[in-house]
Structure 1
């Protein structure tokens, strides 16, 4: 991922230095397992642990050797073995490249997921805070982009809160699914390494054993992580798209923060554009797109090929880095969101009270009309109000004998009470938050 969208903590997870460090962690864990089984002497083990390390110069040495070998794992093994000397021969004993790469990748994914879960844990309180801050802020609910029925602005945040809880659960599950390793040798049959080495090494690393590995950890695990990120990104895009709509000049019920000194357009100084939310939308597309090759990585030739390798070097870091970035963007946008309750009220008035049509429909049905009869009466008056300049829906109903013969002016007044739409909002809040 480009530097512009990379936050330091997540970027460091996917740095080459950290990748090679994880490879070294795996190699040392394997050596410790061999040592436990008596294959590597204690003095050799001590020397391996004390002398091996990864820093920028070691990374450069690995690249230097890789240009010769055209094999990054062998370049890595040679570079760290050089640090030890004669006892370096014990490093990578009996294992194959995938044993190191896949097991280390499990450590990297786990580390990345922990950051993403932490991001969500920081976003959830912001969503909850806004849900309660705007629990009494009445606005127009829209379907198909058209006025539907009144709601409260806080319900949007309650909905997003509940959805982000599900995204957190998906990432927690994905963390468990990817926290596995395989140290089983070529084609996964333990031909040059006993299963005990795998067992002990993975215990040291805090990973579970892949029950059947056929040399590689199966990529359905990685695809689950990638799709969990894609779904989370899509939820963030949902939030961003909503704010982008609400920020339109014709709507202007809410807008993302516009900080002091910020400029909205190179040509039009008056502009306040929802650029942050648009960036969230754009990067969500990237993350979703990356989930497709991750699923295509599941099908490899026979016991394995490396068609998945080049894909994972790109899509996995890019998706994790981008998701970390847009989770933080979303938190910042919602923390500083500018809301215009008076504009919400003004926009509600644009539909001339037509959003009470469902209430009138129910009332007429309860008076004995068939649903179709009641629907025709309500629709007729709604269209009359819609098409007549200055005519309110309520006034149209009061001038219709088919309505007034069944509903008194007092009953119509009661129907046209916006609070009737909102009476069960506390129930929803208690269901989501346990309080109102």
Structure 2
């Protein structure tokens, strides 16, 4: 784990973050560039755009171990981009065939397409990991669909809910944002291949055929028109990444609050030394939650950064490329790490149903006041019911008496037990839970298999 001031702590130790860092790192980026260059040579050789005998030497040259990385870094720092020195190095390696390396394309074609390949590689795995989180949540939701707990409004006791209902709210949002990111990734998985200003002028009549075949070779969508200066797909992807990360952070915010000493209803999974304090040995800090929340806050600005990249000059803009790549890859790394942490947290989440029940009784029955008001409104009208129950609530708060006693003292009547019945208050919520579980369990024809609850 890095101890640098800029290191994002626990997040960097996760499988997801490390995997994304590797793919977006120097080696992964160079590999993506080489993949594009090799595929281009193969396609152009097949179509007769370049000599067929030139393909094998070029493809053989497109291996990272053939490169002098120190020289490549030094040259890239001089040129400003890595593709020019990379192409020169590949051309030297390919011998006489080297003149056909990178034929008819341009730097941004390679860098944009490589970026798309990297994003697809990382996010495909991250989305599959997120689907596992949904399965965990679906099981927890079904298990706790009738576990009573306090429903909180602005951090205050509102009305009773079930823990399963709270989980269903988490699950619904995570599912929808995952589907949103899946769609955004599909729409962003587009080839960039247009040459100098996007018109494929360098390849003349062969340009469109090369583009079509190259898209097929890389399993990418062929765009209608070059998108050098049209960055809306990347903006949508950035927003979808940030939204899914925020959905995970909503869970973390709730769990962290429920872990507080005064609440104590759930706990992160225990691990030796994790969450300990240097001066307060009794503490069990919500460090997983903290890391997920910080990850979400760290990428909130990214969609804004990418919106800025849409404001490009003419056919090729200036001052956008590196900002987009850095912001987007950082956001995806944070998401991938947060998904790993969320899965760990939910797989070992400790639920204290007894404490949930104790907290329901903390206000001496006041949490049932809404149910009482609905009951009384049918008999004495809503305004009078509100007045009576305001007085009842004041008496309970001031004297510590229970709700039933205070109601008898104020209203001179008994309250039927059925009015305070938990199950009747969460009946509609059970239907909502069923709908969420049904939604996440059944996909469309192109989507993933159903989530099994067993």
Residues 1:136 and 1:3: Cα distance change in structure 2 (over 3 Å):
closer
Could you say which residue in structure 1 is the equivalent of 2:246? 234
Is the CA contact (8 Å cut-off) linking 2:181 and 2:241 kept in structure 1?
A: yes
- Measured against aligned partners, the alpha-carbon deviations of 1:129-162 in whole angstroms (never above 9, x if no partner) come to 2112322321111101111111111212122112
Name whichever of 46-55 and 238-247 sits farther off. Answer: 46-55
Say yes or no: does 1:348 pair with 2:352.
no
Say yes or no: does 1:22 pair with 2:32.
yes
Residues 1:58 and 1:173: Cα distance change in structure 2 (over 3 Å):
farther
Name whichever of 305-314 and 239-248 sits farther off. Answer: 305-314
For residues 129-278 of structure 1, the aligned pairs below 5 Å read 129-193=139-203, 194-213=207-226, 216=228, 218-262=230-274, 264-278=276-290
Distance between the aligned counterparts of 1:159 and 1:79, measured in 2? Answer: 54
SS of residue matched to 1:307: coil
Residue 430 of structure 1, aligned match among 434, 446, 453:
434
Say yes or no: does 1:378 pair with 2:382.
no
Distance apart, 1:328 and its partner CA: 0.9
For residues 299-338 of structure 1, the aligned pairs below 5 Å read 299-338=311-350
Distance between the aligned counterparts of 2:187 and 2:302, measured in 1? Answer: 19
Structure 1 residues without counterparts, runs of 5 or longer: none
Could you say which residue in structure 1 is the equivalent of 2:20? 10
Is the CA contact (8 Å cut-off) linking 1:255 and 1:338 kept in structure 2?
A: yes
Could you say which residue in structure 2 is the equivalent of 1:73? 83
Residues 1:422 and 1:71: Cα distance change in structure 2 (over 3 Å):
closer
Distance between the aligned counterparts of 2:434 and 2:274, measured in 1? Answer: 40
Could you say which residue in structure 2 is the equivalent of 1:418? 422
Is the CA contact (8 Å cut-off) linking 2:391 and 2:410 kept in structure 1?
A: no
The aligned length equals 427
Distance apart, 1:56 and its partner CA: 8.2
SS of residue matched to 1:135: coil
Is the CA contact (8 Å cut-off) linking 1:29 and 1:202 kept in structure 2?
A: no
Structure 2 residues without counterparts, runs of 5 or longer: 1-5, 442-452
Could you say which residue in structure 2 is the equivalent of 1:287? 299
Say yes or no: does 1:87 pair with 2:97.
yes
Residue 296 of structure 1, aligned match among 291, 308, 328:
308
SS of residue matched to 2:72: helix
Distance between the aligned counterparts of 1:67 and 1:358, measured in 2? Answer: 67
Distance between the aligned counterparts of 2:124 and 2:65, measured in 1? Answer: 24
Distance between the aligned counterparts of 2:330 and 2:163, measured in 1? Answer: 34
Distance apart, 1:286 and its partner CA: 0.9
Residues 1:156 and 1:263: Cα distance change in structure 2 (over 3 Å):
closer
Distance apart, 1:220 and its partner CA: 0.9
Is the CA contact (8 Å cut-off) linking 2:37 and 2:62 kept in structure 1?
A: no
Is the CA contact (8 Å cut-off) linking 1:10 and 1:115 kept in structure 2?
A: no
Residue 116 of structure 1, aligned match among 117, 126, 139:
126
- Measured against aligned partners, the alpha-carbon deviations of 1:241-292 in whole angstroms (never above 9, x if no partner) come to 1111111111111121231244611111111111221111111111212222
Using the size of structure 2 for normalisation, the TM-score is 0.89
Say yes or no: does 1:40 pair with 2:53.
no
Distance between the aligned counterparts of 2:370 and 2:92, measured in 1? Answer: 78
Distance between the aligned counterparts of 1:279 and 1:382, measured in 2? Answer: 40
Using the size of structure 1 for normalisation, the TM-score is 0.92
SS of residue matched to 1:424: helix
Distance apart, 1:67 and its partner CA: 4.0
Distance apart, 1:97 and its partner CA: 0.9
SS of residue matched to 2:194: coil
Could you say which residue in structure 1 is the equivalent of 2:108? 98
Could you say which residue in structure 2 is the equivalent of 1:387? 398
SS of residue matched to 2:240: helix
SS of residue matched to 1:140: strand
Higher relative CO (Cα under 8 Å, sequence separation at least 6) belongs to: 2
- Measured against aligned partners, the alpha-carbon deviations of 1:15-64 in whole angstroms (never above 9, x if no partner) come to 22221222122122222232233222221112222333113854334213
Distance between the aligned counterparts of 1:36 and 1:311, measured in 2? Answer: 36
Distance between the aligned counterparts of 1:142 and 1:274, measured in 2? Answer: 20
